[in-house]
A and B are shown apart, each in its own frame.
Chain A
Amino acid sequence: MVNLNLETKSPQPPKTGTMLTSTGDETGATRESRMTRLLRYLKRSPKLVAGLILTLGIVAFGLIMPFFTQDPRYSGNPALQPPSAEHWLGTTALGYDVFAQLAHATRGSLVVGLLVAFIAVGLSVFFGVVAGYVGGFVDESLSLITSIMLVIPGLPLVIVLSSYIPGRSLFLVALVLGVTAWAGSAVVLRAQAQSLRTRDYVSAARVAGERPARVILVEILPNLLPLAAAQFLFAVIFAILGEAGLSYLGLGPTGSITWGTMLNEAQVGAALSQGALWWIIPPGLMIALLGCGLSLINFSIDEIINPKLRNIPAAQRSVRARSARAKRGV
């Protein structure tokens, strides 16, 4: 839902986008100036900073913490203990340490999120870019498939798919989520690819006899990068929310720990009626915070792609700040 507006977003080349895709082959001097530019941009965009801190913090937590916690499946602890010095986030009905579970669940959910995002963005790039670039009959048929996938409600389809498959691995769940989650981005990427197709440099490449595959790879895809990145982050949020819902219903990956399976166990263990909020709140809050962090990064990418969103408020702030300074006599 974050990117509802992308469909009609005016296709401007990402002017500031270069700093995100800086390559390693530049001289020290330009790299330094890019660093300062990046720092200045960060200074002006508290949204991006907050988003990066949230996201990277959660990723670091999921990467590092599992090495320091006890076994998340060690059931020797006293059951349903509220948070204490020994168990920071308390214990579950089966005596698992909630903090240990949370650390491992973070890892599990992030893996699902990334897998799904790769599958979904891969598919949407294929359906969107090929349709938008090639046009004609190919476009018609690929677009039809996209439209169909767009209006068939995702989670019900995922539920149906998952319930037919006995014994779901983490990868299988990710595959199912990925296969049903690409259509929205494909629509956006197709619109963008269509507009890029008519740009002069693309026309030039085509007239020069470049193969379509090469034009797509060399001329089109790099320009779609910021947009695809936004779609990727969006897909991660979608996947983690979807996996949580699926797991909550008991259709999640068997044998893995994710935020969703934690919530499912809390539901089965009647955590709510026993008032074990320490068991319910952490996984949901992690999902919300990660979603929030990724959305904030997405907004910043949005502002890069669509400068209209950025200029006006920033400029207004600066005008206001200036008149405030003037009043103080600075």
Chain B
Amino acid sequence: MNYYLRRVILYTVTLWAAVSLNFLLPRLLPGDPAAIMLSKLERKGPVSETMANSINLLLGGKDSGSLWDQYIAYWGRLLRGDLGISLTIYPKPVIELIAQALPWTLILVGLATVISFILGIALGAWVGWKRGTWADSLVPFTTLLQSVPYFWLALLLTFVFSVSLGWLPVIGGYDVYTFDGPELSAGFIGSAMQHGLLPAITIVLSSFGGWLLGMRNMTVSTLAEDYVVTAEAKGLRPRRIFMTYAVRNAVMPSLTGFAISLGFVVSGSIVMEQVFSYPGIGKLMIQAVQNNDYALMQGVFLVITVTVLAANFLVDIFYGFIDPRARQHG
């Protein structure tokens, strides 16, 4: 079967599984999230019947028909883009809140991940190439960095650069006193970048070590392969041997392992956003959890899953592009 088709099918099935999990979990687990959320909503104001129906459908409240009927209706709402009403910022639709928060996380985590990936791969290949020299001493250092919890590193960075030195802002995604909301101006973008610097550094510092170690090990293994010896015997220039013969082969497992690592980055970033009060999707999820805002939580989970799947698919396309074997066998 075609490589890309196989990947598309896998991601479609995964998406279906994620949606079904979202549907089943509040219904199967102990506790009655629908009732909890409805009672909280009532405290905020009158709950209309459509709103109650919507909550029941999302979270499996009482008297909502058979499980199958609920499932079909659930999908119907989802496909219409109806993710329910948020309790946290009542009565905003969940989808609106997500739309506001998503760009912040996408840009921050996306950029930081790309930087960290490239940095880790490049350094890892180099350390592997220079194995047996002082470059090896980078390994224990990155091991330590890699084991540091993101949010703890974020706390320390905040303490040093914001609380003690006062160089960078402590919290938020932009200067809320100067700007009413996101706008397209140089001043705003500058402010956003200033606020995003520490979060980005946190992500890069805590994640590039993993790429580095994986890439280093693969480079060392690849250098022992016959085709690298052949390249050497062919009298090729070291640069060519390094790039086309060693690195290009060594980078494959890093790409196939991208899914696992991306999971780490996304997980770490969610908690990290809490430290910086960054107005992204992670912060939104934490707010949802703290307020028992199950509708918002479901929506955020779904969006995170879709985003991660998309990122993985991009990497798969790239992988198929550089590995002829993948294109052929799938």
* A–B: direct contact at CB < 8 Å: yes
Residues in chain A within 8 A of chain B (CB atoms): 1-5, 7-10, 47, 50, 144, 147-148, 150-157, 159-161, 163-166, 183-184, 237, 241-242, 244-245, 248-251, 263, 272-273, 275, 277, 280-281, 283-284, 287-292, 294-296, 299, 302, 306, 308-309, 312-313, 316-317, 320
Whether A295 contacts B26 in the complex (CB less than 8 A), given A1-B214, A5-B218, A148-B17, comes out as no
Question: Are the C-beta atoms of B159 and A277 separated by less than 8 Å?
Answer: yes
Q: Which of B46-54, B70-78, B189-197, B256-264 binds A?
A: B256-264
Q: Measured between C-beta atoms, what is the minimum distance from A32 to chain B in Å?
A: 32
- Give residues of chain B (208-222) contacting chain A, Cβ–Cβ below 8 Å: 209-211, 213-215, 217-218, 220-221
- B residues in contact with A184, CB < 8 Å: 260
Q: How many residues of B contact A (CB 8 A)?
A: 79
- Set B139, B261, B308: member contacting A1, Cβ < 8 A: B261
Between A and B, 22 residue pairs with Cβ closer than 8 Å are A1-B211, A2-B146, A5-B214, A5-B218, A50-B140, A148-B10, A151-B312, A153-B308, A156-B270, A157-B21, A159-B301, A160-B25, A165-B31, A245-B270, A249-B274, A275-B159, A295-B143, A309-B220, A309-B221, A312-B131, A312-B220, A313-B136
Majority DSSP secondary structure for residues of A touching B: helix
- B residues in contact with A248, CB < 8 Å: 149, 151, 271, 274
Question: Are the C-beta atoms of B220 and A308 separated by less than 8 Å?
Answer: yes
| Residue from the set A7, A154, A245, A277 with the largest chain B CB neighbour count within 10 Å | A245
- B residues in contact with A1, CB < 8 Å: 146, 207, 209-211, 213-214, 257, 260-261, 264
Question: Are the C-beta atoms of B260 and A4 separated by less than 8 Å?
Answer: yes
Question: Are the C-beta atoms of A156 and B300 separated by less than 8 Å?
Answer: yes
Question: Are the C-beta atoms of B132 and A316 separated by less than 8 Å?
Answer: yes
Instruction: Report the bound CA distance from A10 to B218 in whole Å.
Output: 11
Question: Are the C-beta atoms of A156 and B305 separated by less than 8 Å?
Answer: yes
- Give residues of chain B (1-41) contacting chain A, Cβ–Cβ below 8 Å: 10-11, 13-14, 17-18, 21-22, 25-26, 29-31, 33
- A residues in contact with B22, CB < 8 Å: 160
- A residues in contact with B221, CB < 8 Å: 5, 9-10, 306, 308-309
Q: Measured between C-beta atoms, what is the minimum distance from B119 to chain A in Å?
A: 14
- B residues in contact with A309, CB < 8 Å: 217, 220-221
Q: Measured between C-beta atoms, what is the minimum distance from A270 to chain B in Å?
A: 11
Question: Are the C-beta atoms of B147 and A165 separated by less than 8 Å?
Answer: no
- Give residues of chain B (279-330) contacting chain A, Cβ–Cβ below 8 Å: 285-286, 289-290, 292, 294, 297-298, 300-301, 304-305, 308-309, 312
| Residue from the set B14, B22, B214, B260 with the largest chain A CB neighbour count within 10 Å | B260
| Residue from the set A47, A50, A292, A302 with the largest chain B CB neighbour count within 10 Å | A292
Q: Say yes or no for B55: interface residue by CB 8 A criterion.
A: no
Question: Are the C-beta atoms of B11 and A151 separated by less than 8 Å?
Answer: yes
| Residue from the set A249, A281, A320 with the largest chain B CB neighbour count within 10 Å | A249
| Residue from the set B150, B163, B254, B304 with the largest chain A CB neighbour count within 10 Å | B304
- Set A153, A244, A283, A292: member contacting B143, Cβ < 8 A: A292
Whether A163 contacts B260 in the complex (CB less than 8 A), given A249-B274, A290-B147, A312-B224, comes out as no
**Quick one: CB contact mask for B136-174 with A, threshold 8 Å, 1 for yes?**
100110011011111111011011000100000000000
Question: Are the C-beta atoms of A153 and B253 separated by less than 8 Å?
Answer: no
Question: Are the C-beta atoms of A295 and B218 separated by less than 8 Å?
Answer: no
- B residues in contact with A163, CB < 8 Å: 289, 292, 294, 297
| Residue from the set A150, A164, A277, A281 with the largest chain B CB neighbour count within 10 Å | A164
- Set B14, B224, B290: member contacting A152, Cβ < 8 A: B14
- B residues in contact with A295, CB < 8 Å: 143, 146-147
- A residues in contact with B294, CB < 8 Å: 163-164
Q: Measured between C-beta atoms, what is the minimum distance from A59 to chain B in Å?
A: 16
Instruction: Report the bound CA distance from A165 to B33 in whole Å.
Output: 9
- A residues in contact with B143, CB < 8 Å: 291-292, 295-296, 299
Q: Measured between C-beta atoms, what is the minimum distance from A33 to chain B in Å?
A: 30
Chain A residue with Cβ nearest B249: A8
Q: Say yes or no for B102: interface residue by CB 8 A criterion.
A: no
Q: Say yes or no for B87: interface residue by CB 8 A criterion.
A: no
Q: Say yes or no for B110: interface residue by CB 8 A criterion.
A: no
- A residues in contact with B267, CB < 8 Å: 153-156, 242, 245
- B residues in contact with A150, CB < 8 Å: 259-260, 263
- A residues in contact with B290, CB < 8 Å: 250
- Give residues of chain B (98-146) contacting chain A, Cβ–Cβ below 8 Å: 131-132, 136, 139-140, 143-144, 146
Question: Are the C-beta atoms of B253 and A147 separated by less than 8 Å?
Answer: no
- A residues in contact with B10, CB < 8 Å: 144, 147-148, 151
Chain A residue with Cβ nearest B250: A5
Q: Measured between C-beta atoms, what is the minimum distance from A79 to chain B in Å?
A: 20
Whether A144 contacts B304 in the complex (CB less than 8 A), given A159-B289, A291-B147, comes out as no
Question: Are the C-beta atoms of B152 and A153 separated by less than 8 Å?
Answer: no
Instruction: Report the bound CA distance from A292 to B260 in whole Å.
Output: 19
Whether A263 contacts B152 in the complex (CB less than 8 A), given A277-B159, A308-B221, comes out as yes
Instruction: Report the bound CA distance from A317 to B268 in whole Å.
Output: 38
Pairs A-B, 7 closest by C-beta atoms? A291-B147, A1-B210, A4-B214, A155-B267, A284-B152, A316-B132, A4-B257
